[in-house]
Structure 1
Amino acid sequence: MMFRLRDITPRGLYARSMLMVITPVVLILSLMTWYYYDSHIAEVNRKLAQSIARDASLIQAYCDRREDSPSVHRTIDERLDLTFTCKSPEQALASSSYLDRFAYSSTLDNELETRLGVPVETALNPRDSMLHLRFASGPRTVEIIVERKRVFVANAHIFIVWVILFSLFMIALAIAFLNQQVRSILRLSKAARAFGRGRDAPDFRPSGANEVREAARAVIDMKNRLTAFTEQRTAMLAGVSHDLRTPLTRLKLALAMMEETDDIRAARSDLDDMSMMLDEYLTFARGEEGDEASDLDLSELVREAAAGFGPHIIVNGPDEIAVNGRPLAIKRAVSNLISNAMKFATDVQITLVDGPHAADIHVDDNGPGIPPERREDAFRPFMRLDEARTQNTPGTGLGLTLARDTARAHGGDLRLSDSPLGGLRASLRLPH
């Protein structure tokens, strides 16, 4: 399996942006710290060690003369700003019994041994942080007491503190900036989701970076165009349906006055089918107007729709499912699914499933069903599938189309599959 970076990186924009900001900051500051200690601090400590080694060499030369001169001794102490003694090994051992071995003296030890040519012991006095150097000089032992800060950089930890504080400041600044940008994107996503479900977002205003603002304006413009198109389509459908009712009524009156024959009965049947189609068109047009989204009990709505087809329609599932949507549109979509199933089956059952993110309405029948390769065609307007549906069956061919439009307008979908009853299952999903 090929390695892909996206498999180990976060999925969210906020997490990815944080990773893009924090990673370079931490990497750069880590490299700076490493370079500071590996190059600068190490070089400074080496120079300090060389300076102490030169002073120790001078003291070694003085002690090798075996002639103690108080004035010279005092002059060396003052000029070198340190304290030294030339003692016997027994005296030196007794005076340094309380000292701790200094753990960070490798650089100093190397410089002292290189300069003096003898092993040097380094120890730290824990009481006053004074560094003690002890080495042999002929029969005597030389002990030098010097301030620790003259040998090593003692305040290097301050640099680490500043690096950490600066890193935290940069990360806090990045988080504040990213919060503002991501918040604008989340507002846009929420508004687009509301627009997609046919709802308004009155409090939404373009904000954030110029690119996000431009995307927000494009979404608002798209929403306005779709709204205008939907209103125009609904008005046209309502107008056409209403205008056709007048000549249709005249034809019915004319046929009623004619002698009853087989042709007249067939013509009346055709007019009844046309009248039913117009009623469905008008119902659809009226349903799009004034049906505002609201919180509703989907279980109660489905049971009401099923009750309109008779008590033999069984509804299984929870007694209460809370969703938000347009009640008339959802009830019409469920009624279309039940009506479509009853046209071609003798047994119709409805199952409600309340999931964590969406609610499902399964309408099952024991009819002839639809072949899998033709199921998508069933959603095309005015499409009649002759293999599964008889041509004599009345209908407009809009039931599944309108039901899917309703589901998708609410952010869900409508899918067809095999039913446990042997026929077709229509599954309408609505998000919570």
Structure 2
Amino acid sequence: MLRLRDITPRGLYARSLLIILAPVLIILCLMTWYYYANHIAEVNRKLGQGIARDAALIRDACRNPAYGPGDMARIQYLLETEFTCSLPPGAVPDSALRQSFSYNDTLKSELAGRLGDDIVVGLIPNDTKLHIRFPVAGKTAEIVMDRKRALVINSHFFIVWVIFFSLLMVALAIGFLNQQVRSILRLSEAARAFGRGRDLDGFRPSGATEVRDAARAIIDMKNRLTAFAEQRTAMLAGVSHDLRTPLTRLKLTLALMPETEDMKAAESDLDDMAMMLDEYLAFARGEEGDEPGSFDLGAMVHDIVSGFGPHVPVSGPQSLSVRGRPLALKRAINNLVSNALKYASHARVTLVNGPHWAEVIVDDDGPGIPPERYEEAFRPFSRLDEARSQNVSGSGLGLTLARDTARMHGGDVRLAPSPLGGLRAILRLPH
């Protein structure tokens, strides 16, 4: 089923331009059609009727033997028309007359009603005179007049003026439309920048009242989200810092107690808690003072992977420029690589430089995750025991923080089956 949106432009500017141009073109076409089909046709018909009356008078004069040259001259003066009751020998033949011209049928129809069907109406090429010939008393009479008397020859001026003023109005509308669409595009660019964790220099509400209201709402939303993130980070840092003191006391207490299997299990739990607190503190510290800017993602990935040893190969471009928070992205990529090595014996990192996106792909040969549980893997503290070993330590925040960081930059983290047989994690960032 054909829908209107399938054949109309997608962009706001193109649609707005279509809203302006479509009515103008429709009105222009209707006006042109009405002007020529009704008004001009009626005017030419009236002119044809006037010419037919004059031609009938001239025919009657040519038939009347009582009319002499003086009478004929007086008729020519009154009708302002040249005519002769007998076509001269050197006259242009009928075949040389151009008998096809605008509204010729209308004129011939009016003349036929007065003079009969045996008439010839035509124009001499490159001349402005109209020739009308008809039989009178065995001879051929000819009327010669300026074609302005038979046709409205300047009717196209009306269309030219209509087109001129229509184009002028369209130009003014496009100029006004540019101002309105520019503010909307600027708002879209600002919202995209806010979504990637950075500010748009020089942005301020502009344009129509509704666009200004939307811009203020987006700025207010951005400020509230920034305040919420700062409060969350401060709370996480405070809680993590406060918990380290009792955790340290517990470790000292357990160290002074006799060593048993239960004591070993308790120490292992405390070690896991300490590792979780370290991750919380690292996350909190990573948010503080990490200003967005341009950096080399390729160099960062090579530096991160080199810390895991030479057994993790890296392929792709050596240099890949992106814009974002370097510390947060470094922590996210480190989480993806360390996750792969926790659950697999081999891992591989690939850099992809796309036209609009940069990707960091981490493959491993571990047990993987069923596709229907990919989204569950991103939940905080999620441990997919069927796919991953319970004996592996971790807080269950690696993928969660990686996706949170990617989305903060306008990208995302996706999971997919790996060609190595395990799991593939794809970190995508906009250029």
TM-score range, shorter chain: over 0.9
CA offsets, 1:368-415, max 9 Å, x none? 111112111111111111111222321111100000001111111111
Aligned counterpart, 2:90 = 94
Q: Deviations over 1:33-52 (max 9, x none)?
A: 10000000000000000000
Q: Distance in 2 between matches of 1:227 and 1:370?
A: 34
- Residue of structure 1 equivalent to 2:236: 237
What pairs with 1:1-400 in structure 2 (closer than 5 Å)? 2-87=1-86, 89=87, 91=88, 93-97=89-93, 100-104=97-101, 105-126=104-125, 128-400=127-399
Contact 1:118 1:136 in 2 (8 A): no
User: How far has the Cα of 1:18 moved from its partner?
Assistant: 1.3
> Superposed, which structure 2 residues align to 1:381-420 within 5 Å?
381-420=380-419
Q: Single out whichever of 272-281 and 220-229 deviates more from structure 2.
A: 272-281
Query: Which segment is superposed worse, 277-286 or 98-107?
Result: 98-107
Q: Which amino acid aligns with 2:178?
A: N
- Could you tell me which runs of 5 or more consecutive residues in structure 2 were left unpaired when the two chains were aligned: none
For the 8 Å contact 2:205–2:212, the answer to whether it is kept is: yes
Q: Distance in 2 between matches of 1:385 and 1:311?
A: 29
CA contact (8 A) 1:345 1:365 kept: yes
Instruction: Output one character per residue of 1:28-67: Cα deviation in whole Å (capped at 9) or x when no partner.
Output: 1100110000000000000000000000100100100134
* Range 281-290 or range 121-130, more displaced: 121-130
In 1: Cα distance, 2:204 partner to 2:341 partner: 47
Q: How many Å apart are 1:305 and its aligned residue?
A: 0.9
| SS class of match (2:156) | helix
- Is contact 2:205–2:216 with CA below 8 Å preserved after alignment? yes
Shift of 1:25: 0.8
Q: Counterpart of 1:12 in structure 2: which amino acid? A: G
Residues 225-259 of structure 1: per-residue CA shift (max 9 Å, x gap): 11110000000001111111222222233333444
- Distance in 2 of aligned mates of 1:391 and 1:180: 60
- Counterpart residue identity of residue 376, structure 2: D
More displaced stretch, 189-198 vs 351-360: 351-360
Residues 102, 123 of structure 1: 8 Å contact kept: yes
User: Structure 2-normalised TM-score?
Assistant: 0.95
Structure 1 Cα separation of the partners of residues 275 and 30 of structure 2: 79
What is the letter of the counterpart of residue 227 of structure 1? Answer: T
Task: State the one-letter code of the partner of 1:100.
Answer: L
Q: Deviations over 1:314-372 (max 9, x none)?
A: 11111121211111111100100111111111111111111111011111111111111
Distance 1:37 1:127 in 2: 25
Deviation at residue 127 of structure 1 after TM alignment: 5.4
Displacement of 1:301 in angstroms is: 0.7
Query: Cα distance 1:146–1:289, how it changes in 2: closer, same or farther (>3 A)?
Result: same
What fraction of aligned residue pairs are identical, expressed as a percent? Answer: 65
Letter paired with 1:250: R
Residue 97 of structure 1: how far off its partner (Å) = 4.3
Quick check: 1:297–1:321 contact (8 Å CA) kept in 2?
A: yes
Instruction: Report the count of equivalent residues.
Output: 428
Give the match's secondary structure for 2:151.
coil
> Any idea what the Cα deviations from partners look like across 1:165-190, whole Å, max 9, x if unmatched?
12212221222122112111111110
Q: How far off its partner does 1:269 sit?
A: 2.7
1:94 aligned counterpart, secondary structure: coil
SS in 1 for 2:84: strand
Superposition RMSD on alpha carbons, in Å?
1.7
Q: Deviations over 1:81-139 (max 9, x none)?
A: 1111111x5x2x52224963242222111111110125221222445512121111112
Amino acid in structure 2 at the alignment position of 1:17: S
Q: What amino acid does structure 2 have at the position aligned with 1:8?
A: I
Give the residue type in structure 2 aligned to 1:386.
D
TM-score normalised to the size of structure 1? 0.95
- Mapped contact 1:132–1:146 kept (Cα < 8 A): yes
Q: Deviations over 1:133-174 (max 9, x none)?
A: 111111222111111111110101101211221221222122
Q: Distance in 2 between matches of 1:101 and 1:351?
A: 79
CA contact (8 A) 2:197 2:324 kept: no
